[in-house]
Structures are given as C-alpha cells and as structure tokens.
C-alpha cells in the first residue's frame, strides 16, 4: 500500500465517526471521497479536507454499485474502503417490527456487502487494498432491546472474517473496528433513550459500561481505522478490534 495519493471512500462521512475518519485519512495523505445522504454536510467535510463529496443513499441496494462506479469514473480506483454508514435503533423484541429490522439490515449489512462486492474484486486485480468495516462491540456480544442492531453487527463481523479469508492471498486486507459507545450524536440519542426509560443520567450509564468509565471519541475510532492501512499492517486481516475501554474483556 502506497498511501499518499491513494483514494479512500468513507461512507457516512458527513459527521461523527465518518467525518473523523475522513479527516484522519486526509491528514495521512489520502484523497478522500465522503459519501452519505446529507449533501450539505458532505460538501463541508470535503471542502475542509480537500476531498470529494458524492451523495448516495446506501439503504438502496442498487446505490452501492452506482457509488463505486461514480468514484472510479470521477476520482479513480478505490484503494481504501471504509464502510462506516449505519443506523442504531432500539426496541424490545415485540416492538421490533419488519420496518426497523429491514432498515437496520439494509444499511448496516447489505450496504457494506454490496460495496465490497463492487470494489474488492478490482482491488484484488490491482494487487491490494484495504477494507475497514465499522461494526460495534454489539457484534461481539449481546445487548438487550437491540436485537436488530446486534444481529446486523454480528453479520458485519461475519462478512469481515469471510472476505478476509477469501482474499487473503490477493493483497487485500479486510478488518473491522468494533467500538463501544462513542461520544457522537448517535451516542447522545442512546443516552437520551436511557434517561427517558430509567430517569438516570444516560451519559453516565453508558460510560459506566466501560472499565475506563468513559465514552470513546470519534478520533480514537479514526486512529484504529488508520492502523489497518499501512504496508506494515498487511498481516492484520480478519481482525475485529474492540474499542470499548476493556468492556468486551
């Protein structure tokens, strides 16, 4: 991997973890394409990092192939794919309706699968590449009231491991970062849900899940993503790294 000048695609790149990843990759010399549904937020990030914004709604299965083709046509071949786009909705099983299940699977699993299918074989033909999937420690363990989310993240972990083995001899590595609760808007929504349901301080409740008694930061997630990219990381594949202050331990 020759990182300076290589093209990276970061989905969900308009805010939060995705924005932090885009900034970290750009600081490392990559040309970063950010994608997502909020065109205004994407343009702001792209301007700040000297990158490119290509909006796409990856909840539509067909959008993944179109996005990959647009990046290849307008920017160049993708060397680094970061599947960060995702949603997190919680509900007891009895209230987890088909719509919640389908939305979660479409964005958290199917979008990553479709982008990998569109991008990874070409990476292999060129002799290498990097894929980093943003899973969750909910892909390594279970949480109550999040059956759809946990199932989707377990599926993403399984996809990561399967593709890592399939492409092990190609020079393409496929890994996942599995954060605990991160200090983002999504984390704030989780904290608000806890506060409404229990009357407790939601942020304190989330922080207490970690032995470090804190939320992770987007920049820590971005650093973990970056660590999979250099040539010296070529032996790291099929790994699903928990970034949760020791919670998974």
Q: Which of 245, 235, 176, 177 is nearest to 211 (CA)?
A: 245
Query: Are the beta carbons of 13 and 36 closer than 8 angstroms?
Result: yes
Phi, psi of 36, rounded to the nearest 5 degrees: 165, -170
Checking DSSP bridges between strand 240-243 and strand 7-11, what pairing results, if any? unpaired
Helix, strand or coil, per DSSP, at residue 213: coil
What is the rounded CA–CA span in Å between residue 179 and residue 223? 12
Q: Please state, as a whole number, how many other Cβ atoms lie within 10 Å of the Cβ of residue 213.
A: 10
Residue 77: its H or E element = none
Distance CA 164, CA 237 (A): 6
**CA–CA separation, 202 and 206 (whole Å):** 6
DSSP class of residue 135? -
DSSP E strand boundaries for the chain: 7-11, 31-35, 52-53, 78-83, 129-134, 172-179, 240-243
Q: Give catalytic residues, as residue numbers.
A: 149
Q: Identify whether the C-beta of residue 247 lies closer than 8 Å to the C-beta of residue 214.
A: no
How is residue 214 annotated by DSSP?
S
């Amino acid at each position: 991997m020759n990182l300076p000048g290589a093209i990276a695609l970061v989905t969900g790149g308009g805010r939060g973890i995705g924005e932090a990843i885009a900034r970290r990759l750009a600081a490392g010399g990559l040309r970063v394409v950010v994608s997502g549904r909020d065109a205004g937020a994407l343009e702001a990030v792209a301007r700040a990092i000297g990158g490119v914004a290509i909006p796409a709604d990856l909840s539509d299965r067909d959008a993944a192939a179109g996005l990959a083709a647009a990046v290849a046509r307008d920017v160049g071949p993708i060397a680094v794919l970061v599947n960060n786009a995702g949603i997190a909705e919680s509900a007891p099983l009895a209230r987890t309706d088909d719509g919640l299940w389908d939305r979660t699977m479409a964005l958290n699993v199917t979008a990553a699968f479709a982008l990998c299918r569109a991008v990874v074989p070409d990476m292999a033909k060129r002799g290498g590449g990097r894929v980093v999937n943003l899973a969750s420690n909910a892909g390594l363990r279970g949480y109550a009231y999040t059956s759809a989310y946990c199932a989707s993240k377990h599926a993403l972990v399984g996809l990561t491991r399967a593709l890592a083995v399939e492409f092990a001899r190609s020079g393409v590595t496929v890994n996942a970062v599995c954060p605990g609760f991160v200090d983002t808007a999504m984390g704030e929504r989780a904290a608000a849900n806890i506060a409404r349901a229990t009357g407790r301080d939601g942020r304190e409740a989330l922080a207490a899940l970690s032995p470090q008694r804190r939320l992770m930061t987007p920049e820590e997630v971005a650093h973990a993503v970056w660590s999979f990219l250099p040539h010296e990381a070529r032996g790291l594949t099929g790994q699903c790294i928990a970034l949760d202050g020791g919670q998974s331990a």
